[in-house]
Structure 1
Amino acid sequence: MTPTETFAHYRVLSPPGPEGGKTVAVFQGASGDLQAQAAQSGAPLSVFVGSADVAGVSLRVFTPGKEKGTSDSGALAALAFLQPQGVLLDVVDVTMGGEVMPAQLCGGEWLLRQGDVTARKVEADLSPLGVTGGTAWIASAGRPNLAVEVADLAALEGFTPDADAISGLNRATDTTGLILFTMGGPNRADVSFRAFGPLKGFLEDGASSNMFACLVGVLGVTGRLPTTTNMIRGAQRMPGAPSRLTAQFTPADNGAADVWVGGRAERFQP
């Protein structure tokens, strides 16, 4: 950042190539009218670094219209911005919106701790989704989500979400979001998925750390986590906005323990 610049743009959780991921503006310092600065940044998400030292980072996160509170993507962008400055250890606490989330640098990517994930198989009527023959699980890393496996990548990418159908299924299963997934994927992904949450206020999320953590738990109870490594790559396949996420995990009989999720954040000039 040059003396004339006030913020830098980052692409967060992006797959290889020039597109995808989430765009975040990172501001060095949190002073003045933060909401006005966020609105002028040209990014859908802006994060302001209030303080940073070897043990912790304090952030405030805004959309162009309001303060967001917490954002994994915002935290990952801020950590990537600060790390070359030499002010952070490889393990730090990130404070946002009154919450504290541990973060660690792993293989050049920052990961945020999502916690332990539990998962169990459940019977559910999937016909309102237009999904036939699918198997469903309820998985939770603090918020219960319904995970449904589809036949292949074509079925995943061809799915057309219906907010009413998804909301009805979530209410019927006492869950808050829907994850559709299939094994494998582009760029040597271990698993591909899409994440929906009309009950949370959005139809589809392009990069969801919490939902990927839940999916890791489902893969744990079905015996499909890697056995030669404790890392897994996920390709999130929202049409027109692909993302790639990395998770670190400890296998557990009822899901996965100590799950951390993150990915790369690269500075770019819009």
Structure 2
Amino acid sequence: MTGPVTIVHACRRAGRGGSPTAVVDETSSTDADRRAVPVAAGTSHAVFLSHATRGVVPLRFFTATGELPACGHGTVAALAVLAERSGAREYETVLRSGGRTFVGRATVAGSRCEAFFDPGPVELRVAAPAERASVLSALGLGPGAPCRVASVGRPRLLVEVPDRTALAGLAPDLDRLREACDRSGLLGCYVHSAPAPDGRVAARMFAPSIGVREDIANANSTACLAAHLAGRGRCALAVDMGDSLGEPSTVVATARPGPAGPLVLVGGAATVTGSLSPG
């Protein structure tokens, strides 16, 4: 590994689970070195922090297969580390990733951190017949499942199923799903239950195209869902993820009207849980 690695469990639920994420201070590493970090750390993603320049902290995100322009739970993990280092109970900073600058905030209480950020504008469009058909088939779903393509950094397909039971029963053909996503230029597929009256949702994110068979927590896709459901009058969501992987996680998102579409805020609870030394 390139240097000391901090492990953060991001988007935890009631103090449990969350997505283990490697957080590393940036050095003059190569991209190959960066791709090796999540493998060595046993995490799906790694986030690299550079020193602040004019008050802005640059972030870079990697999986074992390459760099991502954005990573929601990685941003939550980065904010948890930065807030802990600051020693402040209420922390705010300016972050930069994927060519955009945005504000992140965190509140620290003991070992628990609540972190939220602006994921940027969400682009929504109707799924083309070919892309929806191939993805739904790989998921084992019928052609009538409601779909929407949403993008914040990279496009992904949002797919609605009736309830948590249908979601839990999914057993996608991941090889076919990867082929379908690659053909359409999709990051992956975010399958979610219909929202309950209180805004509670369950979701699973499959992203074999970036080397992640199933994500424990995916904040940017949850931001996409919040923007999508804002058209139905939903302004707040709590999305449960990770249960199928034994890592209960919850991502929280809110949406409000903006001049060019919904303005979304997304995040969750995080805990710094350990560290690893290079070797």
Q: Tell me the TM-score normalised to structure 2 length.
A: 0.70
Q: RMSD across aligned C-alpha pairs, in angstroms?
A: 4.0
Assess, with a 3 A threshold, how the Cα gap between structure 1 residues 175 and 265 changes in structure 2: closer, same or farther.
same
Report what 2:114 is aligned to.
109
The reply on whether 1:183 has 2:194 as its aligned counterpart is yes
Cα 1:177/1:110, change in 2 over 3 Å:
same
Among all aligned residue pairs of Structure 1 and Structure 2, give the percentage whose two residues are the same amino acid.
27
Q: Secondary structure at the match of 1:263?
A: strand
1:225 is aligned to 2:234? yes
Q: 1:48 to 1:190 in 2, by over 3 A?
A: same
Matched, 1:207 2:207: no
From 136, 157, 172, the equivalent of 1:146 is 157
Matched position secondary structure for 1:77: helix
TM-score in terms of structure 1 length: 0.72
Query: 1:1-270 maps to which residues of 2 (within 5 A)?
Result: 8-19=6-17, 21-27=18-24, 29-30=25-26, 35=33, 38=37, 42-44=41-43, 45-52=45-52, 55-59=55-59, 71-86=71-86, 90-96=91-97, 99-105=99-105, 109-122=114-127, 124-125=132-133, 126-132=136-142, 133-167=144-178, 169-170=180-181, 175-184=186-195, 190-221=200-231, 223-226=232-235, 231-237=236-242, 239-240=244-245, 241-251=247-257, 257-269=262-274
State the number of aligned residues: 255
Q: Pick 1 or 2: higher relative contact order, CA cutoff 8 A, min separation 6.
A: 2
Partners in 2 of 1:65 and 1:172 — Cα distance?
A: 17
Please report how far the alpha carbon of residue 201 of structure 1 lies from its aligned counterpart in structure 2 after TM superposition.
Answer: 4.2
CA shift for structure 1 position 76: 2.2
For 2:37 and 2:26, the matched residues in 1 are separated by: 11
CA contact (8 A) 2:10 2:270 kept: yes
Indicate the SS of the match to 1:115.
Answer: coil
Do the aligned partners of residues 118 and 79 (structure 1) sit closer, same or farther apart at CA in structure 2, a change above 3 Å counting?
closer
Contact 2:8 2:271 in 1 (8 A): yes
CA distance in 1 between partners of 2:233 and 2:153 (Å): 22
Which amino acid letter does the alignment assign opposite residue 238 of structure 2? R
Q: Unaligned 5+ residue runs, structure 2?
A: 108-112
Identify if the C-alpha distance between structure 1 residues 26 and 140 changes in structure 2 by more than 3 Å, giving closer, same or farther: closer
Pair 1:100–1:17, CA change in 2 (3 A): same
